Amino acid sequence: MNAGTWRLKGRASVAASPEGEDARPDAVGTLPGWPSAVAQTWRMSFDHWAGADAPALTQAAAELRRQLRPHALGGVEGARALGLVAAALKHTLGWSAYDQQGLAAWLMLRGRLVEMATGEGKTLAAGLAAATAGLAGLSVHVLTANDYLVERDRETLEPLFRLLGLGTAAVCATTPRESRLLAYRQPIVYVTGRELVFDHLKDHLQLRGERDPRVLRARALGGEGASADGQALLPRLQQAIIDEADSILLDEASIPFILSTPGAAPDVAALEAARVLAGLLGPEDFVLMPSRRQAELTEAGRERVARTVPPSSPLWPARHAVELVRAALVAERLLVRDRDYTLSPGKGVQLIDEITGRIAFGRQWNSPLHAMVELKEGLEPTPAMQTAARITYQRFFPRYERLGGMSGTLRESHAELKALYGCPVVRVPLVKPSQARWWGQRGFVDAAARQWACVERIRDMVQQRRPVLVGTDSVRTSQNLSAALTRAGIEHQVLNAVQDADEAQAVARAGEAGRVTVTTNMAGRGTDIRLSEAALAAGGLHVILALSNRSRRIDRQLAGRAARHGDPGSAESLVCLDDPVIAQTLPARWRAALARRADAQGELPALLVRPLVMLAQRRAEWRERLLRRDLRLMDEGLVEQLAFSGRQE
C-alpha cells in the first residue's frame, strides 16, 4: 500500500484532545521536512500497533527499551518508536496524533526547534517526543511556562507514560527537596526553567569541591540514599524539550539566575542621602538608558557628586557614592510601579516579568537598586543578598547532550538560535488552512487616544457577540483600560500580574461569545483558547494588540491566539507615540511632527504607521541582540575569572 494513502482509523469515535484535534490532515509523506521513508515507517508502526491491547503495547515498549539507542532517534528507528507511542496514546487517552505532531516530535528528537502555530498540538508533540526519548533510556526534562502547566501536562499524559513503563514526575516551586531528589530520577520530568536552573545551581554549591564530572556523576548515582547531603538533584542533563522555546532561549536568555545568601543589612542613611542627591542633579548631570534600565553620570555629574561627598565623609565611602546615585536615578526615573514591579502584602516589592506580564517570584534587582525601590515605596530595605552562584539560560542549556523545543514564533530569530544553541529552526505546516484575518496597524498620538479607540472597537465586537482578547504592556495600562471599559458599561475580565491566581482558567474562558479579556502582554501563554459555538458563528476571537512590542515575533505570539486550528478570527495592532519602543527610537521633535498629522480623534495617517512601527521594532530587536551578545561575552569572561580563582559557574 502506498504511504500517501494511509489514514488513521476510527476517527469518529475519538474524543477531542486538549489541542482540539478532530480531523485528519492530508496524506502523510507530503509534509516538508519529513523524509518519505521516515514518514512511511511512522505510519506503518502506528497501523501495526493501533489495534493492540494494553499488555501487548507494554511488552512492545519493554522490548523497544532494550533495543533503542539515543543515536537512532533521529532516523527510521525513532519514527518506528514514535508510531508505537502514538498507538499507546490512542489506546490510553483516545487521541490520534496528527502527522504534523509526529513530524514535530521527530524533529525535536533530531535537535531541532519546531515552529508550530497556536492550537496545532504542541503539548502532545512534546509528549510524543518525551516518551520516545524515555524509551531510548534518556533522562528527559520537559520545560513549560508555569507550574500550572507543569502539573496539567504531566497529569494529562501520565497514563501514556505509565502504559509504556516510563515513570514521570512534576517539579514545581512548592516541591520539597526530598521529593525533587526522587522526581529527577524518573525518566520524564515536567518542570519550569526557573526551577530547573536553580536546582542546577544548588547542585553546584553542594558539590563545589568536586571538579571531575565523572566524580560528580558517581556521587550523584552512588549508594548514598535519597536524603544524603552530597547527592545531586540533577544527576544528568541528557534531553531537554522546551515548550515556548523562544521565550526561554531568547526573551529570558540573558536574565541571570542568581542563588544568593543573606548579606549585611543595607545602610539606610547612605541610601536616603543618595536619593536626595539624585533629586538635586540636573539634566546635564546624567544620561538615562531606558532600554537597559541604567543611568550614567556625566563628567559634570560625577564632579558634583564628588563635591557633595568628600573622601572624608562619615556617611558613606566616596567610592560607593556614584553607584548609589545611579541606583537612585534608575529607581526614581525609570522603574514604574505596576509596570516593572508590584507591591504584594507581606512580600514587598515583586518584579514583573516584562515578557509574560507575570510576577517573577523570587527575582530581585541587584543591590542597591532593589533597596532603592523599597525606599521609594516607603518600605524598610531588605538585607542585601550575596551571590553564591549564577548562570543564564544561554550558558545552561548548551550543557544538555540533546536539546529540542517548539514555539509558535521562531523563524524571525532562526540565525541567532542556531548560533547560540546549535539548533536549526524548522516550520511545521498547519493542519488546516488558516482563516486568520490581519486588520493592520493603527497609530495614535498618545495612550488616551488609543484607549478611546480600543474601547470603541471592543464595544463593536461585543455587539457582534465576538470574544475579544486585549494585550497591554503593563499592569497599570490594563487597569486603566479596565476602568474605561467599566465606565462604558462593558463587562470584562482582567488578567495581569496582580490577578494571576486563576490565569489559565481565565484565558481558557476567553473564547466565550461576547467575552472581553484584558491581559498584560502574554499572560496565560501556553493555555488554549477554545471558542464556543456561538463565538465561532459570530466570526471567532478578535485580538487587539494595545501596545508596541519590541519584536515582531512577540506581536505574532499574541496575534496567533486568534484563528487557531483553522477557526475564524482576526487581529489588529493599536500603537501610540508614547509607547516606550517608539519613544526610544524617535526623537521628541519627530514625534511632535507626527502628532500634528493626526485627525481630530488623535489617529495618525495609516500610511505612516507601518514604517514607524517597523523602524522601532527593528532597532529594538537589534538592541536586544547586542545586549544578549554583550551579556554572553561578559558571562564567558566571568566564567574564566572564576575558573582562574578556583571557583565554578
State the average pLDDT over residues 601-623: 91
Nearest to 395 by CA among 639, 144, 143, 641: 639
> Quick one: pLDDT at residue 540?
96
Positive or negative torsion for Cα 290, 293, 299, 300: positive
Q: How many CB atoms lie within 10 A of CB 249?
A: 25
Is the pLDDT higher at 419 or at 467? 467
* Total domains, the chain: 3
- Same structural domain for residues 464 and 316? no
Query: Locate cell 552530597: which residue?
Result: 230
Q: Which of 349, 383, 417 is the last residue of a domain?
A: 383
Confidence (pLDDT) at 256: 80
Single-letter residue type at 405? G
Calculate mean pLDDT across residues 73-96. 95
By DSSP bridging, strand 348-351 and strand 341-344 are: antiparallel
The pLDDT of residue 645:
45
Residue 235: pLDDT band with limits 50, 70, 90: confident
Mean of the per-residue pLDDT values for the chain? 84
CATH number at residue 210: 3.40.50.300
**Does 215 have pLDDT greater than 80?**
no
| pLDDT value at 33 more than 50 | yes
Mean pLDDT along residues 23-40: 65
Residues 112 and 140 in one domain: yes
Are residue 91 and residue 197 in the same domain, yes or no?
Answer: yes
What does DSSP say about strands 493-495 and 516-520: parallel, antiparallel, or unpaired?
parallel
Does the pLDDT at position 565 exceed 50? yes
CATH number reported for the structural domain that contains residue 303 in this entry:
3.90.1440.10
Q: Is residue 16 part of a domain?
A: no
251: confidence class by pLDDT, cuts 50, 70, 90: confident
Cβ neighbourhood burial of 600 (10 Å; 0-12, 13-18, 19+): exposed
pLDDT of residue 644: 46
Judgement on whether residues 131 and 65 belong to the same structural domain of the protein? yes
Range scoring the smallest mean pLDDT among 233-242, 608-617, 640-649 = 640-649
Cell of 98: 496528527
**pLDDT recorded at residue 448:** 95
**Residue 504: per-residue pLDDT:** 65
Convert the pLDDT of each residue in 630-645 to its tens digit. 877 776 666 555 554 4
Is 637 part of a structural domain of the chain? no
When pLDDT is averaged across residues 216-243 and rounded to a whole number, the result is 67
Residue 7: the pLDDT is 27
Instruction: Note whether residue 38 is domain-resident.
Output: yes
Give the pLDDT of residue 94.
Answer: 94
Are 480 and 540 found together in one domain? yes
User: Would you place residue 310 in the very low, low, confident or very high pLDDT band (cuts 50, 70, 90)?
Assistant: low
Q: What is the pLDDT of residue 93?
A: 95
Segment (H or E) for 404: strand 402-407
Residues 525 and 544 in one domain: yes
Asked whether the predicted pLDDT for residue 30 surpasses 60, the reply is: no
Which pLDDT value is given to residue 255?
A: 80
Q: Can the peptide bond before residue 368 be classed as cis, meaning omega within 30 degrees of 0?
A: yes
Which residue, 383, 413, 443, sits at the end of a domain?
Answer: 383
Cell numbers linked to 8: 488513521
Question: In which band, very low, low, confident or very high, does the pLDDT at 503 lie, cut at 50, 70 and 90?
Answer: low
Which range in 214-223, 241-250, 257-266, 496-505 is most confidently predicted, on average pLDDT? 241-250
* Stronger pLDDT, 484 or 629, i.e. the higher one: 484
pLDDT at residue 353 is higher than 90: no
Phi, psi of 192 (to 5 degrees): -85, 160
- 311 domain-assigned: yes
Q: Give 584's DSSP letter.
A: T
Q: Residue 552 falls within a domain, yes or no?
A: yes
Residue 484 pLDDT > 50? yes
Task: Check residue 181 and give its pLDDT.
Answer: 93
| Same-domain pairing of 165 and 40 | yes
Residue 360: per-residue pLDDT: 75
Residue 255 CB coordination number (10 Å): 17
Distance CA 77, CA 91 (A): 21
Q: How far apart (Å, rounded) are the C-alpha atoms in residues 11 and 23?
A: 7
Q: Is 280 helix (H, G, I), strand (E, B) or coil?
A: helix
Co-location of 520 and 599 in the same domain: yes
Query: Quick check: is 641 in a domain?
Result: no
**Does residue 448 share a domain with residue 422?**
no
8: in domain: no
Residue 244 has pLDDT above 80, yes or no: yes
What percentage of the chain carries pLDDT values higher than 70? 84
Write out the three cell numbers for 561. Answer: 491566539
- Those residues with Cβ within 8 angstroms of residue 339's Cβ, 6 or more apart along the chain or in another chain: 352, 473, 474, 475, 476, 477
Instruction: State residue 522's pLDDT score.
Output: 56
Q: Which range among 261-265, 380-384, 512-516 shows the weakest confidence by mean pLDDT?
A: 261-265
State the Cα–Cα distance between residues 107 and 132, nearest whole angstrom: 12
Predicted local confidence at residue 520, as pLDDT: 81
Domain limits at 467? 435-617
Rounded Cα–Cα distance for residues 254 and 364 (Å): 15
According to the model, what pLDDT value does residue 321 have? 83
pLDDT tens digits for 509-522?
A: 889 999 999 988 65
Angle between helices 76-93 and 147-163 (to 10 degrees): 100
Q: What does the block give as the cell for 554? A: 512577540
> What is the arithmetic mean of pLDDT over 102-121?
93
Same domain? 96 vs 156: yes
The answer to whether position 586 is within a domain reads: yes
259: confidence class by pLDDT, cuts 50, 70, 90: confident
Strand order in the sheet with 468-472: 435-444, 568-576, 541-545, 468-472, 516-520, 493-495
For residue 53, the model assigns a pLDDT of 96
Residues 83, 200, single domain; the answer is yes
pLDDT over 70 (residue 135):
yes
Task: Categorize the per-residue pLDDT at 542 as very low, low, confident or very high, splitting at 50, 70 and 90.
Answer: very high
Domain check: are 472 and 501 in the same one?
Answer: yes
Q: What is the pLDDT of residue 629?
A: 82
For 468, phi and psi rounded to 5 degrees?
-130, 135
**Residue 492: is it exposed, middle or buried by C-beta count within 10 angstroms (0-12/13-18/19+)?**
middle
What pLDDT does residue 532 have? 93
DSSP-assigned letters across all residues of 481-514 = HHHHHHHTT---EEESSSS-TTHHHHHHGGGSTT
With a cut of 80, say whether residue 192 has pLDDT above it: yes
Residue with the larger pLDDT of the pair 494 and 649 = 494
Choice between 342 and 222, residue whose per-residue pLDDT is larger: 342
Confidence of residue 305 (pLDDT cuts 50, 70, 90): confident
Cβ neighbours for 493, distance < 8 A, ≥ 6 positions apart: 506, 509, 510, 515, 516, 517, 518
Percentage of the residues of the chain whose pLDDT score is greater than 90: 51
Cell 533503542 sits at which residue? Answer: 68
What the block records as the C-alpha cell of 584 is: 526610544
Is residue 361 a contact partner of residue 198, using CB atoms and an 8 Å limit? no
pTM: 0.80
pLDDT score of 316: 58
**Cα angle 126-131-132, degrees, rounded to a multiple of 5:** 100
